[in-house]
Amino acid sequence: MKALLQPGFNPRFKRSSLMLAIAAAGIFSGAVLAQGADVPLTVSVVQLDSPAIRGQLSDDRNVLLQGAIIRLVGTNRETTTDRQGRFRFDNLAAGTYQLEVSYLGYAVKQVDVLVTAEQGAALTLRFANNQVEVLNIVGSRDAQSRALNIQRASDNLKSVVSSDYLGRFPDDNVAEAMQRLVGASIQRDQGEGKYVNVRGAPLEFANVSIDGVQVPSPDSSTRAVDLDTIPSDIISLLELTKAITPDMDADAIAGNINIVTQGALDSKGRILRGKVSGGRNEKGNGDAYKLNLTYGDKFNGNEKAGFLFSGQHSETNRVTDNVEHTWMQLDSGAYVPQVTEFKDYELKRIRSGLSGRFDLRVDDNKHFYLSHNYSRFEDNEFRDTLTIEWERHTAGSNQQQGVAGRATFDKELRHRTFVNRINTSVVGGRIDMDTFSTDFQVSHSSAKQSYPNRDYLIYRERSRPRVAYDFSNPDLPTFQVLNSAGEVVRTDFNFAPADMNWRRYERRTGGAEETEQAAALNFTLPGQWRSAYSELKFGAKARLKEKENDENRFRNSVGRNAPTFAEAIIDKQSRPFDGFYNNGPKLRRDFVSIYRDIFENADFLDRGAASVTGDYKAKEDIYAAYAQNKLDW
């Protein structure tokens, strides 16, 4: 039995985690993987000059196996293999030990190891080639089986999924990949995942990290991280921890999302992978493509030092549309529409990501690394909006049917480009001594959001006619423009250009930036507490964070020499919902470059009050310490 001394400990948890992991393995790979393939385990031994057992576990293709449970049978000593497949038992009493190796997808194996008072053994363990049903199980064994083993061996409630498993789905970003994990749901923007909700808690109650480094938020209005910024192809594993332990950051109230990138020492030999894919979005006939490449190698062909670089670039062009309604309550108690907005989008989204890592293993006791991750997301969007403001509802109007005595129609084009950038850099390492081990991490991370242009051009229909509405079909309500006698004039909103007057031009610029410096130091002391094997861990961490936001707004409502509506439109109609609605012609996409000099004159005024209300600078410093003890009986 294994227990972690912290509030809320459930002694049945470990068994439950194991059962869930085995069930998931059956789903991914069939009964062969769930039962474990009985393949040989080859062993090579090198003598150590200390009473210890250390080793490394791999499969027949030199893939290093993380998450294997390694036990010393007949004792309370147990550990798991790290991302390089390594494990160690130090300070052992002299004797012959039976080493048990348990890795999901393989049958449990035992190895006898002799330890003397002055000497131990360094083992190289390798599962031999499995000749049975290779085509069915080898993919999951390399990737998803590794994820399931990490999940099974975890001391807390954790879900893990591998990049290879995610590669079966067309997920462009980390947010969409997260929806594959139990306990996570996503919020979408224009059909793509953007934010991740963990266990139903508010978005900002979950934190996000890359290789354990906290990721700041590029959004000025929330702590939640825009995970649509990070492409899915630069990751090795996704870990969702839903029950945190004392050695984790306490702001992960709902949980922690950890994006694990690959290192050069995570597998033997050279690493080279690439993929080119393309597609076409049915709605709007927009092209989409994705490129990614990963290369890693060892220096001088040894397994002591290596580097790995991974890059990804993708682009998608699509159109989306929606209709939004705001309602109000009349004195009679009936609810009637107040504002209706038809929004017709044309957008291009570009994602790029780079990941680099250098690993140095000085010897079996010292490992250091340096890594950097960069992600960029650009959203270039045109939005044609038809806004209806409903007024003077006639008697008998309700939420389903009615007539507005006056309706104001605005045609608006918004062109917006914003760019998100996330950078994380970290230096870290681990040093194992005879009686304790220590690990450290020093990191710098930043997130920036900028929108160099956000321009609005608005025209208004002059007559403000009566309009009847019918929401009998709430998904596709119908509308009728009426004359003063109540007769139907038109059933669309394709007004004559002469009826549209120039309203205003607006421009917004701005940006937000969040930076964080962090340092952490941990110590782990193995020992014995009565009949239990004890692993005491304590440490400290400091996080220094700064965030600022600045926005500027300008408006021209005079419109001297402004273009007429006929001059500003193009030969393309706004027909959302597959043409069910006809909202008239779209506005020209190059209106800023053509008319900017006309708009930005003496009438182009700084909206100071609207600009400064969102400006701020904030600082947050966190200093923390913890201690925990894990006991094995």
Among 2.70.70.10, 1.10.287.90, 2.170.130.10, 3.40.50.1980, name the CATH number for the domain at 156-260: 2.170.130.10
Least confident of 21-25, 204-208, 333-337: 21-25
Strand order in the sheet with 255-260: 158-162, 237-241, 255-260, 206-210, 213-214
Helix (H) or strand (E) holding 592: helix 591-599
> In which band, very low, low, confident or very high, does the pLDDT at 233 lie, cut at 50, 70 and 90?
confident
Q: What predicted TM-score, i.e. pTM, was given to this entire model?
A: 0.84
- Proportion of the chain above pLDDT 70, given as a percent: 91
> In which band, very low, low, confident or very high, does the pLDDT at 130 lie, cut at 50, 70 and 90?
low
Q: What is the pLDDT of residue 14?
A: 34
Quote the CA–CA distance of 260 and 158 in Å, as a whole number.
14
Residue 262 has pLDDT above 90, yes or no: no
Quote the CA–CA distance of 86 and 69 in Å, as a whole number.
11
Tokens of 15: 């068994």
CA atoms within 13 A on the CB side of 400: 2
Residues whose CB is less than 8 angstroms from the CB of residue 311 and which lie 6 or more positions away in sequence, other chains included? 234, 292, 293, 294, 352, 353, 354, 355
> In which band, very low, low, confident or very high, does the pLDDT at 550 lie, cut at 50, 70 and 90?
very high
Name the amino acid, one letter, at 249: D
Structural domain spans, the chain = 1-133, 156-260, 268-632
Q: Tell me the per-residue pLDDT of 593-627, one tens digit each, with 9 for 90 and over.
A: 898 888 888 899 999 888 888 899 999 999 999 99
> In which band, very low, low, confident or very high, does the pLDDT at 2 lie, cut at 50, 70 and 90?
very low
Q: Tell me the per-residue pLDDT of 450-466, one tens digit each, with 9 for 90 and over.
A: 998 899 999 999 999 99
Distances (CA, A) of 168 to 24, 388, 594: 16, 44, 46
Query: Phi first, then psi: what are they for 212, rounded to 5°?
Result: 85, -5
Q: What is the pLDDT of residue 566?
A: 95
What is the average per-residue pLDDT within 236-258?
91
Q: What is the pLDDT of residue 143?
A: 60
Q: Tell me the per-residue pLDDT of 474-527, one tens digit each, with 9 for 90 and over.
A: 999 999 999 988 999 999 999 999 999 999 999 999 999 999 999 999 999 998
Q: Tell me the per-residue pLDDT of 57-68, one tens digit each, with 9 for 90 and over.
A: 998 888 889 999
Least confident of 18-22, 529-533, 592-596: 18-22
| Residue with tokens 């610029």, as numbered in its chain | 509
Closest C-alpha to 481, from 464, 499, 467: 467
Greater confidence, 538 or 154? 538
Q: What is the pLDDT of residue 36?
A: 57
Tokens of 334: 């009936």
Residue 469 has pLDDT above 90, yes or no: yes
Q: What is the pLDDT of residue 283?
A: 81
Q: Tell me the per-residue pLDDT of 393-403, one tens digit each, with 9 for 90 and over.
A: 999 999 999 99
What is the average per-residue pLDDT within 434-456?
94
Q: What is the pLDDT of residue 61?
A: 82
Q: Tell me the per-residue pLDDT of 149-185, one tens digit each, with 9 for 90 and over.
A: 888 888 888 888 887 777 677 777 888 888 888 889 9
Residue 51 has pLDDT above 70, yes or no: yes
Q: What is the pLDDT of residue 167?
A: 67
Residues whose CB is less than 8 angstroms from the CB of residue 189 and which lie 6 or more positions away in sequence, other chains included? 228
Mean pLDDT, all residues of the chain: 87
CATH says 1-133 is which class? mainly beta
SS (H, E, C) 595-610: HHHHHCCCCCEECHHH
* Three-state secondary structure call for residue 119: coil
- Proportion of the chain above pLDDT 90, given as a percent: 64
Q: What is the pLDDT of residue 142?
A: 56
What is the average per-residue pLDDT within 281-306?
88
Q: What is the pLDDT of residue 458?
A: 96
Residue 404 has pLDDT above 50, yes or no: yes
